[in-house]
Structure formats: structure tokens, C-alpha cells
Amino acid sequence: MRKQIAAANWKMNCTFQQGEKLLCEILDADIKLADHQLTIFAVPYPYLLMTRSEVEEEWNYVAAAQNCHHKKAGAYTGEVSAEMLHSMNINYCIVGHSERREYNQETNAMLAAKVDLCFENYITPIFCCGEPLAIREAGTQNHFVAAQLKESLFHLPAEKIKQLVIAYEPIWAIGTGKTASTEQAQEMHRFLRSVIAAQYGEAIADEIPILYGGSVKANNAKEIFGCPDVDGGLVGGASLVGADFIEIIKALK
């Protein structure tokens, strides 16, 4: 069975103390995850060790980084490498979030390098893709998103790509309170799976969890996660409210 994932993306929010409190509130709800379910907390770098130790005893709760650098090591002040994350026992990392693509000029080629460095360091990349509003309005979203996959992922061998997690984030739905309709989400997730299938075959495409991101809330998670090709969510705003994220975890299939 394909993994079903609730991934919190705290972005640049929460003080250390607020973060600890939020984690405790969520873990205290004591939601037991099945083997195929996973909850991920993508927290700011300085909170990674605290988060890792909070979730240590919990089955299928893990800490993740929100980014890593596209170079192995060297004179890049302020940056964090995949190797550093691995050395701290961090096994998941978001790669290519739309905010980083936009504010940090991350290109598909840079993201291909990040994905490789993650794999070299035993880190599962949560690879983000998704189209801006203008592309959606022009009706060329399929072409746009397929190019993101091809340029950043399709150099990978089959045994690597099947370990990946993909997050589809329509940029027009992030932090805006607008969600894609379940039809729009399902349609795009199905399309992404078909693009992977064309390159790597159906069996591999079927194994890859594809998360939906973009204003997932406590009151819409169940409906969105209910789509056959949606395997959970990458959640920003609602992951900062304990009670809401608890409901989102419970909405996993």
C-alpha cells in the first residue's frame, strides 16, 4: 500500500518554545499511525534536534528539514548541506518548495542537484512542484508541472525515484485560503502519476506518494485526502494550530 502522509511545513514560524509546545500538543493526542501512514514535521533548522528527540519514541512520526543546499559543502555561509542533515539523523527534506523557487531563485537544475545530494545522504526528498496562477489561467499547467518533474527528477534511476515523495502545490492555493477543488487536485495528481508512469512504468508510478499542498485545513483534509491519487498533504498554516493538525493527521487514509 502506498504511504499516506501528513506533512507539517512550519516555514519561518514559531519561536523555539512555541514549537516545542505545538509538538507536545500534537503528540499528546496520541494518534496511532498505521504502518503505511506517516506524519512529518518540517521545522526550522535550529529545531531539528529538539523535534527529532520529541518524536523519537513515536511510531511513524519524523522530523524533516525544509531545505538543503545544492552544493555538497564549502564556502556557503549560512547554508546547510544534506550531509549535515544526515549526520543529525534527519531522513526527510523538502526540496523545491514554491517559496524557495520564487524568493531564492531555485531552478529545476539546482533542484536536481539537491535531490541527488539527498539520496547520497539517505534522505528522502519531498519534491514540490506546482504552477502559478497565470499558468493555470492559460491552461498550460500540465505542461509546466511535467517539465518540473522531467528536469529535476527524470535523471534518477528507477530504484531511487520510487523512494521519493512528491508534493503538488498549486501556487495560487498556498496561504491564500483557496484550495484546488477535489476534481482539480485529483486530475493533476493522476496526470503526475501518468507522467512518471510514461518514464518509469505503472508499477513505480503507483508506489510514489503524491501529497497535495495549498490551504489544506482541518475541515477539508478528509475530502481532499479521499481522492484516489492524493496520498495526504503538505500543510502550512493549519500545521501551526495543534487542534487543526491533529484533525489533519486523523484524516489520513
Contact 236, 11 (CB under 8 A): yes
Helices within 66-181 (DSSP H only): 82-87, 98-103, 108-120, 133-138, 141-153, 158-161
Task: List residues bridging with 63 in a β-sheet.
Answer: 41
Q: 69, 70, 86, 97: which is the annotated catalytic residue?
A: 97
Quick check: 249 binds ligand PGA (CB under 6 A)? Answer: no
The amino acid that residue 234 corresponds to is: L
> Nearer Cβ to ligand PGA, position 50 or 218?
218
Quick check: 130 binds ligand PGA (CB under 6 A)? Answer: no
Q: Taken in order 63, 69, 70, 75, is the CA torsion positive or negative? A: negative
Quick check: 9 binds ligand PGA (CB under 6 A)? Answer: yes
**Coil, strand or helix: which one is 49?**
helix
Nearest to 249 by CA among 9, 37, 11, 3: 37
**Binding letters toward ligand PGA, positions 181-220, x by CB under 6 A:** --------------------------------xxxx----
End-to-end CA distance of the chain: 11
Q: Say whether 169 is catalytic.
A: yes
Query: Among 43, 146, 174, 246, which residue sits at the site for ligand PGA (rule: CB under 6 A)?
Result: 174
Q: Say whether 151 is catalytic.
A: no
Instruction: In angstroms, give the least distance from the CB of 178 to ligand PGA.
Output: 9
Quick check: 175 binds ligand PGA (CB under 6 A)? Answer: yes
184 CB burial (10 A radius; 0-12, 13-18, 19+): middle
Instruction: In angstroms, give the least distance from the CB of 127 to ligand PGA.
Output: 13
Instruction: In angstroms, give the least distance from the CB of 198 to ligand PGA.
Output: 27
Q: 54, 106, 131, 169: which is the annotated catalytic residue?
A: 169
Quick check: 236 binds ligand PGA (CB under 6 A)? Answer: yes
Residues that bind ligand PGA (CB under 6 A): 9, 169, 174-175, 213-216, 234-238
Q: Which residues are catalytic?
A: 97, 169
